[in-house]
Structure 1
Amino acid sequence: MKNKVFGYVRVSTKEQNEGRQIKAIQDYCNNTKIEIEERDILVDKQSGKDFNREKYQMLKQMVRTGDIVIIKELDRLGRNKAEIKKEIEWFKTNDIVLRILDIPTTLMDLRQYDSGMAKAMMDMINNVLIEVLGTIAEEERNKIKKRQAEGIEVAKAKGKHLGRPKTEFPSEWEEYYIKWKSEEITATSMMEQLGLKRNTFYRLVKKYEDGK
C-alpha cells in the first residue's frame, strides 16, 4: 500500500484564516512532486495550549507507518514545549515522517539512512531546532496570556474608577472588546458571540470608551 501524505493546520480562533498555511503545504507538495489530497489537510481552529483537538486526534488515528505529515511551522503543532516534544516522539516511535516547513532539516528524507553517523547528526540538529523553536512558541503563548490578563485587569480597573454601570454590558464584554481592539476578531464576530445588534454594539462601544 502506498504511503499517504497528510497536512495539519491550526489557527487559534474561528475568525482566523487558515488559507496561508494550507497554501504553504500545497506549494511544498507541488514543488517536491508529492501528492496530497485537499481532504487530507486537517484543520483545527483552537488554541495550541494542549493537544486535545478534534482534527489533530483524528489525524493520529488516520496515519500509518511510513506516512508523511506536513506542518507549516512548529508552533502550529502546539505551544507547550514539553508536549510538543512528546508528540514528536510519538511520530518517531510510529515511524511516521513529520515535515515542518520552517525546520528545513526535517524536510530531508532520512529513511535512506538505515543507521550511522548521518542519521544521528540529522536527529541531533532537528532536536536542537525543535528545542529552540519550542521554547519560543511556549514563551509567545505565555506573553499572549499575560497581555490578555493585563488588558482585562486594566479594563476592569478603568470601569471601576469611572463608575460605569456593568449590568448593561454583557458579562464577557471586556474580554471580547480586547480581542476586537487587538484585531483578533471582527466587530461582526463580536456581535454574534455576544448576541448584540449593530446599533446596540456601537452604542456600548461608545459608552465604554467614553467612560459614561
Structure 2
Amino acid sequence: MPAKTYGYAENSAEVDALQSYAGVDVILEDMPERGQYRMLRRFLREGDTLMVTALSSLGDSDGTIGGEMDYFLQHEIRLVVLELPITMQELDTSSTALVYRTVKEVLRIWQQHKEAVQVQRLVRQKEGIQAARKAGRQFGRPVIEYPKDWKCVFEQWQARDISAVEACRKLKLSRSTFFRMAKRYRQKEIGGD
C-alpha cells in the first residue's frame, strides 16, 4: 500500500492552510476532544505522513506532544508541522530523531517558563492583595447592618415566642439573610465584641 499524507485540523482556518499543500490525501477537522485525531492515529502506517498546522494539534501539554512525537518516530510516521519549517524537509531517520528531540526539549523549556511565569503572577497577586488589605481595602460583599429592631426580634425568636418566618417578616429580611445575621450575632456575643 503506498504511503499517504494525512492532514489533521481542529478548525476551518487550519483546514484551509492544509488544503493549500498539494498531495494531502485526507483532511479531518475535529472537536476539542480530539476524537477524530485518535481515529486517524490508528490508520497511520509506517511511511505515512501526518500534516498539522501547529504542535498544539497533537495535545494540550508538552508531555502529551512529546509522547505523540515519540510514537511517530517509533512507528516511522513522518510528522510535518507547518509552524516548524524544518519538519517540512525530507530528513533521514537520525536527523528526524534529532529534530524531534530538539523540539521536545524546547517544549519542556517553554513549559517550565510558563510555570515560572504563573508562579510569579500568583506571588505578585498575593502581595497586591496583602498591600490592599493593609491600606484598608475591603474585599467581598459589604456586610449588611442589623435592622433597628434586630435585638428585640432576635431575642423573641431565640425564646421561641415567634417563628423564623415571622422574624423575617418583621425585619424585612430573607430567611438566608436572617440566619446568616443570627449566626454572626451569636458569634459576636460569644466573642464579647
What TM-score do you get using the length of structure 2 for normalisation? 0.53
Change (3 A) 1:55 1:135: farther
Question: Residues 10-159 of structure 1: matches in 2 within 5 Å?
Answer: 10=10, 18-27=11-20, 29=21, 33-37=22-26, 40-46=27-33, 53-110=34-91, 113=92, 120-133=94-107, 135-136=109-110
Pick closer, same or farther for the CA change 1:66–1:142 going to 2, 3 Å. Answer: farther
> What is the deviation of 1:86?
1.2
1: CA distance, partners of 2:82 / 2:106 = 15
Paired residues of 2:7 and 2:24 also in contact (CA < 8 A): no
Q: How many residues align?
A: 129
Q: Which has the higher contact order (CA 8 A, sep 6+)?
A: 1
TM-score (norm 1): 0.49
Q: Percent identity over the alignment?
A: 24
SS class of match (1:109): coil
CA contact (8 A) 1:79 1:134 kept: no
What CA RMSD, in Å, does the superposition of the two structures yield over aligned residues?
Answer: 3.3
Question: Is the 8 Å Cα contact of residues 75 and 134 (structure 1) preserved in structure 2?
Answer: no
Question: CA–CA distance in 2 between the matches of 1:7 and 1:54?
Answer: 15
Q: CA 1:104 to 1:134, structure 2 compared with 1: closer, same or farther past 3 Å?
A: farther
